[in-house]
Amino acid sequence: MNAAFFTLHSGLPREAPGDEESLAWALARAGTPQDARILDAGCGPGADLKTLARLRPQATLTGVELHAPFVERVRAEQPGVRCVLGDMTSPPDGPYELIWSAGAAYGPGVRAALTAWARQLAPGGRVAFSDCLWRTERRSAAARDFWARDYPSMGDVHTHHTTVKAAGYRVLDARWLSDAAWEAYYGPLAARARALRADADEALTAVLDETDAEINLWRQHGDEFGYYLIVAEPAG
């Protein structure tokens, strides 16, 4: 992350679309026990770890994250969580009944992440993760340009299910995240961008402009792409 990007993104509650409703759905569809061991892979600043602590107060929670300031923040705000600085493809030792990941598996790549996670799942353990996918064949130039820069290998539902199967998993259920889940990310991001605008230097202004363009893209063309949440288990 460059300095201007981090100025904008430090202090935000979350770094990808997501909300309690979709996380509760995933826990229910995965049959995650009350006292489960749960890993949040690419936990960012820890929003989902807080929600997991509310939804599964008896669970043992671990986060793994590459970006050190996020790890420090989780450790400071959530002393009951083990948060490890590291790569989700070498996850902290489990085993886990659930490996959760919101909008982060694209970092190492979905297949690499799923392959690594399988080695840390408890018997009967499951994964639940979201990834951004194309929703339609009709794709505006603006959306194509943005995602070609941000996530060039972004797939669609068909290619995504093929990847999950090739990684050795069976999909138990899947759904799109709601607009409310996008607002949970973009709402605070847009407010922070507005607050920083007046005193922004050139580098930060460029980051704020890119962020406004990204949020406007979703508002205008958000029917063309979305975050798809899959619950899956090793196929055995």
Please report, as ranges, the residues that interact with ligand SAM according to CB under 6 A: 14-16, 18, 42-44, 47-48, 64-67, 70, 87-89, 102-104, 107-108
The CB-of-137 to ligand SAM minimum distance in angstroms stands at 26
Nearer of residues 72 and 137 to ligand SAM, judged by Cβ: 72
Joined together, the tokens standing for residue 139 give 């794709």
| Residue whose CB is less far from ligand SAM, 64 or 164 | 64
Instruction: Look at the block and give the residue holding tokens 């909008």.
Output: 103
Letter for the amino acid at 1? M
Residue closer to ligand SAM, measured from CB, 104 or 121: 104
In 3D, which of 129, 111, 179 has the Cα closest to residue 29? Answer: 129
Given a contact cutoff of 8 angstroms between Cβ atoms, the answer to whether 74 and 99 are in contact is: no
CB of 5 to ligand SAM, least distance (A): 12
Nearer to ligand SAM by Cβ, of 47 and 143: the residue is: 47
Residue entry with tokens 């590459």: 66
Residue 159 identity (one-letter amino acid): T
Taking the complex as a whole, the smallest distance from the CB of residue 185 to ligand SAM amounts, in Å, to: 7
The closest residue (CB) to ligand SAM is 107
Residue 14 DSSP one-character state: -
CB of 143 to ligand SAM, least distance (A): 18
State in angstroms the smallest separation of the CB of 71 from ligand SAM: 9
Q: Using the minimum distance from each CB to ligand SAM, give the nearer residue, 48 or 97.
A: 48
Rounded to whole angstroms, the Cα distance separating 97 from 36 reads: 6
1 versus 235: smaller Cβ distance to ligand SAM: 1
Hey, how many other C-beta atoms are within 10 angstroms of the C-beta on 120? 20
Q: Which of 113, 94, 213 is nearest to 163 (CA)?
A: 113
Q: Smallest distance, Å, CB 228 to ligand SAM?
A: 14
175 within 8 A of 25, measured Cβ to Cβ: yes
Asked whether 233 and 127 are in contact (CB, 8 A), the reply is: yes
